[in-house]
Amino acid sequence: MALNLERLSEAGIEIHTLLATGGGALSHIWLQMKADILNRPIVSLGAAQSGTLGCIMLAGVACGIYSSLEDAESVYVKVRHTYTPDSGKHEHYNKWYNKYKKCYEAVKSVMTVDQEV
């Protein structure tokens, strides 16, 4: 995920905050670690089934119940908790991330899809 965020940044797309839903968003330890590793706030949302909730919101807008997705969002999307990155822990994780990038570059050519396999 860190590598993806890095590539997006190189393309001029900055992601400042991440939203978390689903089963993984129920673990406080996991979300705090992700915030520390990625050095970005992570906001966990109250809805466990965000895909279903998105469909409900779109249907509400399509049927005229809500005038916009923003109106539907104000009704349905609730923040459960915001995880703020710890800069000290980020520095620790970043050392491992830099090692990961070196390993990734070393094996990238081996891990490509090969027609002979």
Are the CB atoms for 44 and 83 separated by under 8 Å?
yes
Distance from C-alpha of 84 to C-alpha of 98, rounded to nearest angstrom: 22
CB 72, CB 61: distance < 8 Å: yes
Delineate the domains of the chain, giving CATH numbers in brackets. Answer: 2-87 (3.30.420.40)
- Look over the chain and give the mean of its residue pLDDT values, rounded to a whole number: 92
pTM attached to this predicted model: 0.77
Please give the pLDDT value at position 116. 63
- Residues 88-100: what's their mean pLDDT? 96
Give 17's pLDDT tier (boundaries 50, 70, 90).
very high
Share of the chain above pLDDT 90, in %: 77
